[in-house]
Amino acid sequence: MVRIARPVTVDEAVEALSEEPGAQLLAGGTDFCVEVNFGHRRPPAVVALRRVDELTHREVTDEVVTLGAGVTYSDLVGPLSGVVPALTAAARSVGSPQIRNAGTIGGNLATASPAGDTLPVLAALGARVGLRGPGGERTVALEDLVTGVKRTSIRPDELIVEVAVPRVRGSQQFVKVGTRNAMVIAIASAAVVLDRDRREVRCALGSVAPVPLRVPLAEASMADAIDWERMAAPAAALTSFGEIAAEAAAPISDHRSTAAYRRRAVAVICERAMRRCLRDAG
């Protein structure tokens, strides 16, 4: 018999995790329940987070957008779309309306799938993840949270409380390639951010490495090629940006795609995302 705790505060959730060794967190259940149904997961106890209102908070300031771990994809589509448009684009691309209503940003991060759509966006935006455990709170950069394929640095007695996404003056894009246009897991994805204040390009790839992959060489070459006053760049620089990013990718062949197709897709979507970023910022 699985024991189920139904905390209503984050503190109660942390307490429930500590009291039940082996207990696992359940948010929207869109990953968790699939694993249970396939028999890949048999937790002795479950801590259900749905009643923890604190986890659904959203706050927007001039500097940062703070999203509770329980914010769903549907929550990200709407008022937040003008604030973190790349994250909204990623949220819109996830599953079906039912999945978007149930699935949470915290669950996407904790699952840490290479194909998790919010991960490259959060990596490109320099997001930091707030965790709470019995010892208190700590904050880690996204790249320190996701350590491998479905592996994270979250301790068994901790939960993700929130994600802090720095606001960037400029433009941002998320582009995803799958085997069809809707209800699809990414074969490759790319998030591109143009930071006009810092004159920086930031780009992170999804589904082509064990973790969301920043591509510093491509970022630097593109930043050099941009005329930051006019927000324009030569066509050859855009192509080269995509090609350098594709070289940095470490894709595998699996049932969804070949490595060669994934690498080619990276070149195309990075160039496309950058072109759109320049258009939006111009």
Ligand X SMILES: Cc1cc2nc3c(=O)[nH]c(=O)nc-3n(C[C@H](O)[C@H](O)[C@H](O)COP(=O)(O)OP(=O)(O)OC[C@H]3O[C@@H](n4cnc5c(N)ncnc54)[C@H](O)[C@@H]3O)c2cc1C
Q: Which residues bind ligand X (CB under 6 A)?
A: 24-32, 34, 49, 69, 94-95, 99, 102-104, 106-108, 110-111, 116-117, 154, 159-160, 185
How many CB atoms lie under 10 A from the CB of residue 250?
13
Smaller CB separation from ligand X, 179 or 253: 179
Please give the helix or strand (H or E) that residue 130 lies within, else none: strand 128-133
Q: Supply the minimum distance, in Å, between the C-beta of residue 206 and ligand X.
A: 8
CA distance 142 to 110: 11
Smaller CB separation from ligand X, 29 or 210: 29
Q: Supply the minimum distance, in Å, between the C-beta of residue 97 and ligand X.
A: 11
Smaller CB separation from ligand X, 161 or 218: 161
Q: Supply the minimum distance, in Å, between the C-beta of residue 35 and ligand X.
A: 8
- 83-120 burial, b at 16+ Cβ within 10 Å, e below that, comes to ebbbbbbbbbbbbeeeebebbbbbbbbbbbbbbbbbbb
Q: Which residues pair with 200 in a beta bridge?
A: 195
Q: Which residues pair with 191 in a beta bridge?
A: 174, 204
Cβ-proximal residue to ligand X, closest one: 107
Smaller CB separation from ligand X, 144 or 227: 144
First-to-last C-alpha distance (Å) of the chain:
59
Smaller CB separation from ligand X, 128 or 219: 128
Q: Supply the minimum distance, in Å, between the C-beta of residue 28 and ligand X.
A: 3
Instruction: Find tokens 């620089």 and name the residue.
Output: 237
Q: Supply the minimum distance, in Å, between the C-beta of residue 270 and ligand X.
A: 19
